[in-house]
Amino acid sequence: MGLLTAESLGVNNHIAYCSYMKSPNSSHLRQWSASDLESYLFYMEGGARKDVLFGGILFEADQSADGVAISPRSIGLGKPSKLHAWEQSLEQLFAPGTQIDALLCLSQSIPSDRYVDIWIALPYPMVLAKEDFGQIQGKTLNFSISQADRLEAVKWWFEQVLKRYRLAEQKYPQQRCRLQGFVWTKSFLDIGDKELICALSPFVKDRVKNWLWLQNYGTTDAIKGKEWGFSGVFTRPTFLQSELRGKQWIKHAVKLSSNYVLGMVLWADQRWSTTQLKELLEAGRDHFQDALQIYDIFTGASSPQLASHPNYQDLYAYIHHQDMNSEDLKGGHQ
């Protein structure tokens, strides 16, 4: 059957994951300026744009300033869900000069035949909290008591994003962005999550084109994602270069993904060396280079501007199907 492709969903390939707000491991509040994002949309050399790079950006709020978990990645690392944190994530997502505002502004300068895809991760309504989540439209919600409250909160946040996005894009009449869809980033779904997703999927797909799920290789029932309403499911191989999770792990993950038409996630954290990152890109080149891919790599909460990363040239070569070991990478010109 083959891997999920960008063409099958009508989207740009090569989506960069960009977390914003606070990460669990840092007190620094991550913001993405136009200067930060420029080296993601364009291959920069000597401060000049030489070619295009990523085709889309995925924004996800991690934690609020006071450590309340918003992303499912912060489960166990942050405080339980609270409305004020979700409100902060909305404010920061559309804050002037950062995140979506910065991307809309920057997109005005891209080639006229190109668009940048915007993807937004939904916050995760944690059920661990015993206290109330907060009050929405006069109703007090409590995730530990009511599954309907979880659904109501996510729908409210979703609608707020659409409302604010429509206002934001009016600020930049020449912008060349497309809000392609929303993403569920929790790598596994328990029974309550499955019920939530099945109820949420029709609501999401009635309002945006695409609805994606990022899961880890080995996640139970991952192959049922499309039955639950997702338009695309992605596999994160969690390649660790160990005997058990080396390149064979990637090959197995790709085989599963090919059997069920799934996309792929390139994942690495900041502990990785430049040699390890290059080996990951080489494994991707060998096994899934033509798949629709999301890059959870180089884009951590405290990462520097991408153009200064030691593997920046390797990344460009990978995306453009060039030899990573070539001393003369050939970039186009804007």
pLDDT digits (tens, 9 = 90+) for 45-65: 999 999 999 999 999 999 999
Distance CA 143, CA 112 (A): 46
pLDDT of the residue at 305 = 74
Is the separation of the CB atoms in 284 and 264 below 8 Å?
yes
Look at residue 191 in the predicted model and tell me its pLDDT: 87
pLDDT for res 5 = 98
Residues of the chain where predicted confidence (pLDDT) is lower than 50: 301-302, 333-334
In CATH, what number does 6-319 get?
A: 3.20.20.60
pLDDT at 193: 93
How much is the pTM? 0.93
pLDDT in tens, 147-182: 999 999 999 999 999 999 999 999 999 999 999 999
Tokens, residue 232: 């695309």
Domain ranges for the chain? 6-319
